[in-house]
Amino acid sequence: MVNQSSPVNFVLLGFSDHPELEKFLFMVVLTSYLLTLVGNTLIILLSVLDPRLHSPMYFFLSNLSLLDLCFTTSCVPQMLVNLWGTKKTISFLGCSVQLFIFMLLGTTECILLPVMAFDRYVAVCQPLRYATIIYPRLCRQLAAGAWVMGLIQSIVQTPPTLRLPFCPHRQVDDFVCEVPSLIRLSCRDTTYNEIQLAVPGIIFLVVPLTLILVSYGAIAQAVLRINSAKGRKKAFGTCSSHLIVVTLFYSSVIAVYLQPKNPYAQERAKFFGLFYAVGTPSLNPLIYTLRNKEVKRAFVRLLGKERDSRES
């Protein structure tokens, strides 16, 4: 149950103190959202329709694309309304749903990214055993486990945040309803909530990032032992896209959730929050498609089939 004394509406301030930025941000956010819709939908379709992409790597990539689609759709429409007009409110129910979805999808991605790093580790370091280690049933179990852990974390984290007694001004200094912003809006001592946020932050941010770094340390050692320059380049190529995505995602999320408490950090966190909510989901498809020949070939094959079907 949520706190019955909670306000009916919240005000999402965003960058309302810099109105000259809002119209520019509206165009940036709208363009990024359209790229997110097109790019991630294309990756999901290619992963499903092209038999040559029916592999663990693209199974996990399609899960990541689905996460990005849901993530941006949960916040961008409201963000666009707030950036374009003077009314910047969101209902308590809307804020609650947004908070729940953000926590669910953000935690799921934090777990899915190290799973993808493990897949790349086995592909590079244990290539002969890859098919026996990363088999389809395990892929489904790992992906389902990531989604279940995200759901559990959201169920645990969301209700205590919504039960906080919020200050009468109801002004959330952010673009979206996130846990750190709502904690700052409370008028009571929030030490318990901050601890409850910090502990999962270590579990779902620091630990997965450490596992990813360990995986890529082992990958780097294995690649450096390859004698041919062509072999080293191919091995690095299979991992570079994922490593770029990891860097963009974790750097921005850590800047939002593990930041010091001061006004400068909060202003900076808004930019990082906007980036990981809007920027990274639109960049991920570009990173994977521009650096991945298999995805490009699958796209060409799909276009070829559509052309042949129209001609016939």
CATH (domain of 44): 1.20.1070.10
Residue 303 lies in a domain: yes
Residue 1 lies in a domain: no
pLDDT given for residue 63 in this prediction: 94
Residue 133 lies in a domain: yes
Residue among 70, 76, 64, 75 at smallest CA distance from 32: 76
Q: How far apart are CA 223 and CA 233, in angstroms?
A: 9
Angle between helices 136-162 and 56-73 (to 10 degrees): 20
Residue 4 lies in a domain: no
From the DSSP assignment, how many helices (H) and strands (E) are in the chain?
Answer: 13, 3
Q: How far apart are CA 309 and CA 126, in angstroms?
A: 41
Which amino acid, residue 11?
Answer: V
Residue 2 lies in a domain: no
Neighbours of 133 (CB within 10 A): 14
Positive or negative: CA dihedral 85, 88, 94, 96: positive
The number of distinct structural domains making up the chain is 1
Residue 216 lies in a domain: yes
Residue 59 makes CB contacts below 8 A (sequence gap 6+) with 47, 136, 139, 143
Give pLDDT tens digits along the chain (312 positions): 344 444 468 888 877 777 778 888 899 999 999 999 999 999 999 888 888 888 998 999 999 999 999 989 988 888 888 888 778 888 889 889 999 998 999 999 999 999 999 999 998 888 889 999 999 999 999 999 999 999 999 999 999 998 888 888 888 888 888 888 888 888 888 888 888 888 888 888 889 999 999 999 998 888 888 777 777 777 777 778 888 888 888 888 887 777 666 656 666 777 788 888 888 888 888 887 766 777 777 777 777 765 555 555
Neighbours of 140 (CB within 10 A): 12
pLDDT given for residue 3 in this prediction: 47
Angle between helices 229-257 and 92-125 (to 10 degrees): 160
Q: Residue 57 belongs to what domain range? A: 9-311
Length of the chain: 312
Residue among 60, 154, 157, 146 at smallest CA distance from 110: 146
Residue 93 makes CB contacts below 8 A (sequence gap 6+) with none
